[in-house]
Structure 1
Amino acid sequence: QIYISPVRKSSSGESLHRVIANSKITGEDFAFFQISNAMRRLGHHRLHGKTGGVGTKGMVAKLSIGVIVLLICTLSLLFSVNIGGSREPTRPSKINVEELWESAASGGWRPSSAPRSDWSPPTKETNGYLRVRCNGGLNQQRSAICNAVLAARIMNATLVLPELDANSFWHDDSGFQGIYDVEHFIETLKYDVKIVGKIPDVHKSGKTKKIKAFQIRPPRDAPIEWYLTTALKAMKEHSAIYLTPFSHRLAEEIDNPEYQRLRCRVNYHALRFKPHIMKLSESIVDKLRSQGHFMSIHLRFEMDMLAFAGCFDIFNPEEQKILRKYRKENFAEKRLIYNERRAIGKCPLTPEEVGLILRAMRFDNSTRIYLAAGELFGGERFMKPFRTLFPRLDNHSSVDPSEELSANSQGLIGSAVDYMVCLLSDIFMPTYDGPSNFANNLLGHRLYYGFRTTIRPDRKALAPIFIAREKGKTAGFEEAVRRVMLKTNFGGPHKRVSPESFYTNSWPECFCQMNPKKSSDKCPPDNVIEILNSRLESTGDPDSTSQTNSTVTGLER
């Protein structure tokens, strides 16, 4: 089945398609045990008061004790259960490095993006064609593709294979078909939308006419209503529309679980990199795993991020000049004060700070670390302290110095390989998960594929600890860091709270339980694919089975 991952024990050598977490008893089970005992004790006191002749004062006192116990247990239960009665693992009381190498507790949840209601296949006739231009880097484009599929479904439109902006970020003209497996993409989504490689010509009265898509700039985070009104009206009038740019152009929070599950089907099932990229990634992961566990870190310390964050003061005057110039040319003018920015967690962690956090968590210097990073601003001067703490550092070029990777290390292929290696690593740590689409998408992907461990430093909470250390106050430094890190989530299911992105945490919409408390959380039937197939065949659309091959053939011409 392509939408449901079976529950099985994870191991250090598993592949992408064999990733899942173990179920563990959570605090909720213990809380239920406590409250049951409290209620039994309360009942015993009442019975004893009636039969044993205990005075009114004594009975009131015992009842008061029982009520207090009941209240305490109820609060314990509330803190261990999230909204809707769904299970979330309790946070640990101490950091155990050995446990972090394993997946987080699942609470009985398993990933599932299959439809759970009467999901109809795409109709034989659609309302027109939808073209989109996905701007930004690889992972910003990835979320835009998910939104494009959903927009096509909402408008009952035929989706033209999304265009990837070649100039705005990587200056890489690989395009969709150069990065993703087009045939797999179309085949996986055949139950959801119709997809074509390009808008076909119209043949009428012996003449051929080209359809020109009407260009529209969608509003940022546009609601569904915009697509059902403004966009759909233009589509029906012109037969095709071209939405550009298309980054963050559909609201993430939608009160329709089936629409959200469609996003997950696109993101975690349909969007598969081309075979040669998957092979390169697997080769790197195999080499890293041959020596045991490994951690991946997205070290976001490049010029663009530092300029965006406005964190200049740690650099020398020449470097500050470069950063200020870059910011002026690429971002809106804004008053930025380094100390204020750092205090509220807006500055990326330095490589040294990353190393100090890991050491405080008791990772030792034998830990193997894979770095997913562009060109670090400031160079070796900033990397040296980190390398001293953790000398076993690698990146895709050092693990697999192949010609293909060397030629594309700064392009979409290099980013795609980094993405896959980070997805399959035992532990993933983003150093800046604010506007970083790479980290945000990976966090969601790792959650979906078995609640794989992530370490997410709270930069705001850590800032005063690092500032105190820089002023010479080193006593209790590591203990203070550990206290902060204990409050973070290490990859288990947890409630999504704004501003956390749906692409970072698709729980609970894209997860299910075999024995849930709520019927909406129940896993779909095992024959869900057969059901979808029968519905697709019942449309009587001959194009539904030949769509994939015809689209791929058209792209190859």
Structure 2
Amino acid sequence: MRAGICDMVAVARLINATLVVPELDKRSFWQDSSNFSDVFDEEYFIQSLANDVKIVKKLPKEFATATKAVKHFISWSGVEYYQGEIARLWDDYQVIRAAKSDSRLANNNLPADIQKLRCRAFYNSLRFSPRIEALAHLLVERMRSFGPYIALHLRYEKDMLAFSGCTYGLSLAEADELTKIRENTSYWKVKDIDSQEQRVKGYCPLTPKEVGILLSALGYPSNTPIYVAAGEIYGGDSQMADLRSRFPTLISKENLASSEELEPFSHYASQMAALDYIVSVQSDVFIPSYSGNMARAVAGHRRYLGHLKTINPDRKALVHLFNKLDRGSLNEGRKLSETIIELHKRRQGSPRKRKGPISGTRGKERFRSEEAFYENPLPDCLCQEESKFMHRS
């Protein structure tokens, strides 16, 4: 959501358009009825970008009957596309409606001023609403009272497992439920998924049990406070039991805040996720169990704030080790710990330039394989001094 909004700010600049405050998706799996102003600080968004792009809250009345084009912008498109094909639509239309905003703008090879605009929009202008910010910072204070804490983005909710087709560690009944959800969700295009193949390739979120093994192997003591940034965990307490036995100080927003404090947000998935986003950005260590949209956004935000420690699990390599544990050919202990620590030495958010496309890929897959702009905003959002990334621009 954040990435799509900020990309549309850049697109509006490219095609010399006034941007109408985006409508949020209300038809997703979570059926969230939140409006833009429920999640973000609308006034600040408009005012802070006033020198870059004109933004209005609603389509002006004089355009109510204007000719409109509904356009699916091509994914990962650059300047030539927007200033050519899309800008030519102004010859026949007065209003252009972007049917989708996800991954519509290229990660790389854009003018420096456009890249810097994306930075300003994402890291400055797109603040969360004041009431979300207020409660989130209260949650951060309460977490800090336990000491330095890990924010664990535990992507083990029903929608994630159904979408990815990952059923390792689940019962046959649970696996069947997830399959039915996937088959009955029309806009999820891939229906037939081999769960085992997904897992071996590293495409599945780590299970709560696997996260516990990872954290223990990395050397975190059992009294480490862990903030669980997540919705309802599929399988509930039974899935969390092993992780909780290793790390008893597992805390969620539901534990940190009273029911009265959470009530205004509790029925809105995006607003609850916004609370998790802020607590995760401010954590001492951030660890995502899966590299989804929110995990990438938080990781990039932490890079922007000074390369705060973010451990990105090597899921493919870890699954190989976890399978050995399951077979009994490897035991937890010093050897496993040394192996996992070595695997993650260079996966902790240290400064590096954004990765380009994977060698050998072509067409759309080439763009898809690039590291996302907001996952690693270097070098576009950070200045360099003596070959070291030092300051934000």
TM-score by length of 1: 0.64
Q: Structure 1 residues 517, 458: CA separation in 2 closer, same or farther (over 3 Å shift)?
A: closer
**For residue 323 of structure 1, what is the amino acid of its counterpart?**
L
Give the corresponding residue for 1:506. Answer: 377
Distance 2:7 2:375 in 1: 15
1:406 CA displacement: 3.4
Q: Specify the SS of the correspondent of 2:254.
A: helix
Q: Is the 8 A contact 1:164 1:176 kept in 2?
A: yes
Distance 2:317 2:39 in 1: 39
Which of 49, 66, 76 lines up with 1:221 in the alignment?
Answer: 76
Q: Specify the SS of the correspondent of 2:344.
A: helix
Give the corresponding residue for 1:178. Answer: 38
Q: Deviations over 1:220-273 (max 9, x none)?
A: 223322221222122342221111122222222233222111111000000011
**For residue 247 of structure 2, what is the amino acid of its counterpart?**
F
Distance 2:391 2:139 in 1: 34
Give the corresponding residue for 1:145. Answer: 5
Q: Deviations over 1:282-319 (max 9, x none)?
A: 11111111221111000011122222222224211111
Give the corresponding residue for 1:491. Answer: 349
CA RMSD of aligned residues (A): 2.1
Give the corresponding residue for 1:441. Answer: 297
Asked if 1:356 corresponds to 2:216, the answer is: no
Give the corresponding residue for 1:4. Answer: none
1:339 CA displacement: 3.1
**For residue 481 of structure 1, what is the amino acid of its counterpart?**
I
Distance 2:64 2:208 in 1: 58
Q: Is the 8 A contact 1:303 1:376 kept in 2?
A: yes
Q: Deviations over 1:506-530 (max 9, x none)?
A: 11111013x4459xx89799xxxxx
Give the corresponding residue for 1:51. Answer: none
Give the corresponding residue for 2:144. Answer: 289
1:397 CA displacement: 1.1
Distance 2:289 2:387 in 1: 36
Q: Specify the SS of the correspondent of 1:149.
A: helix
Give the corresponding residue for 2:225. Answer: 368
1:457 CA displacement: 0.8
Q: Is the 8 A contact 1:254 1:260 kept in 2?
A: no
Within a 5 Å distance, the mapping from 1:11-410 to structure 2 comes to 141-202=1-62, 210-330=65-185, 331-333=188-190, 335-409=192-266, 410=268
Distance 2:41 2:294 in 1: 20
Fraction of identical pairs, as percent: 38
1:353 CA displacement: 0.8
1:396 CA displacement: 0.7
Q: Structure 1 residues 240, 524: CA separation in 2 closer, same or farther (over 3 Å shift)?
A: same
**For residue 49 of structure 2, what is the amino acid of its counterpart?**
L
1:212 CA displacement: 4.6
TM-score by length of 2: 0.89
Q: Structure 1 residues 315, 262: CA separation in 2 closer, same or farther (over 3 Å shift)?
A: same
**For residue 210 of structure 2, what is the amino acid of its counterpart?**
E
Q: Deviations over 1:124-174 (max 9, x none)?
A: xxxxxxxxxxxxxxxxx1111111100110011111111112222432222
**For residue 483 of structure 1, what is the amino acid of its counterpart?**
E
Q: Specify the SS of the correspondent of 1:296.
A: strand
Q: Is the 8 A contact 2:78 2:110 kept in 1?
A: no
1:472 CA displacement: 1.0
Distance 1:199 1:406 in 2: 32
Q: Structure 1 residues 195, 471: CA separation in 2 closer, same or farther (over 3 Å shift)?
A: same
Q: Runs of 5+ in structure 2 lacking a partner? A: 358-368
Q: Specify the SS of the correspondent of 2:70.
A: strand
Q: Is the 8 A contact 1:469 1:477 kept in 2?
A: no
Give the corresponding residue for 1:539. Answer: none
Q: Structure 1 residues 270, 315: CA separation in 2 closer, same or farther (over 3 Å shift)?
A: same
**For residue 232 of structure 2, what is the amino acid of its counterpart?**
E
Distance 1:401 1:212 in 2: 50
Q: Deviations over 1:521-557 (max 9, x none)?
A: 89799xxxxxxxxxxxxxxxxxxxxxxxxxxxxxxxx
Distance 2:163 2:156 in 1: 11
**For residue 509 of structure 1, what is the amino acid of its counterpart?**
D
Give the corresponding residue for 1:55. Answer: none
Q: Deviations over 1:30-79 (max 9, x none)?
A: xxxxxxxxxxxxxxxxxxxxxxxxxxxxxxxxxxxxxxxxxxxxxxxxxx
- The number of aligned residues is 374
- CA radius of gyration, larger in: 1
Q: Specify the SS of the correspondent of 1:227.
A: helix
1:358 CA displacement: 0.8
Q: Runs of 5+ in structure 1 lacking a partner? A: 1-140, 203-207, 526-557
Q: Deviations over 1:424-481 (max 9, x none)?
A: 1111000000xx1110100000110111111111011111111001111234322322
Give the corresponding residue for 1:417. Answer: 275
Distance 1:290 1:429 in 2: 20
Distance 1:281 1:171 in 2: 23
